[in-house]
Chains A and B, each alone.
Chain A
């Protein structure tokens, strides 16, 4: 069964750091680009970051660029999101998501989503 499981969420003070993990199973992890998408309470979905299969190329939303870093360890079938300088507006459920196809140079729609990790930034 294709599955993504996030971990690492929690409560952190403004200016603090947190690292999320996304463990994948049921598919050849290294073949697929992966992404992070967040959803603030009662709000819509916001794309945060994407990383290509080999892990060389990464992309970020303007709202997190310079503060968040996405990475992956294909030997462990795991993607990470290092979040630094956290702000109240980063409070959200963070989902990891898998591309629906494996295509070089193209990021696809997300066919598999994790259950989400709640990140709360508050003093």
Chain B
């Protein structure tokens, strides 16, 4: 089973700043089957990125994903007030289980 570790646990930034969130896998994630989700308080998760770097439909281009193998990054270039939320990474593909990271909380500084 692939274990995903997200860091930091909490990230405190101000609107307009750049956010860099990390997701590290215990073993290589095949074919970059890595997704990022945003979850605001009391809301359902929303798909942001799949295939490590492909933005889902309707996701602003300030969100970008990168990485391969065991190290993946979600970058938000300039934070908007609505971006403060919890972010989850997930690995998927051909071999269950499809684990999630423990989440990174992005909070306003």
Contacts of A46 in B (CB 8 A): 100
Query: A27: CB under 8 A from chain B?
Result: no
Candidates A59, A95, A109, A111; contact of B97 at CB < 8 Å: A59
Judging by beta carbons under 8 Å apart, are A44 and B56 in contact? no
- Chain A interface mostly helix, strand, loop or mixed? strand
How many chain B residues touch the partner (CB < 8 A)?
25
Q: How far apart sit A109 and B38, CA to CA, in the bound complex (Å)? A: 13
Max count, chain B CB within 10 A of own CB: residue among A45, A105, A114: A45
A116 touches B47 (CB 8 A): no
List 21 A-B pairs, Cβ < 8 Å: A35-B98, A44-B101, A44-B103, A45-B39, A45-B45, A47-B90, A47-B97, A47-B99, A47-B100, A59-B96, A60-B96, A62-B1, A95-B45, A105-B94, A107-B98, A109-B47, A109-B50, A109-B51, A110-B45, A111-B57, A115-B44
A residues neighboring B (CB under 8 Å):
35, 37, 44-47, 50, 59-62, 95, 100, 105-111, 113-116
List the 9 closest A-B pairs by CB distance, nearest first: A109-B35, A59-B96, A109-B50, A45-B100, A44-B103, A113-B44, A47-B98, A44-B102, A111-B47
Binding site for A on B (CB under 8 A): 1, 35, 37, 39, 44-47, 50-51, 56-57, 88, 90, 92-94, 96-103
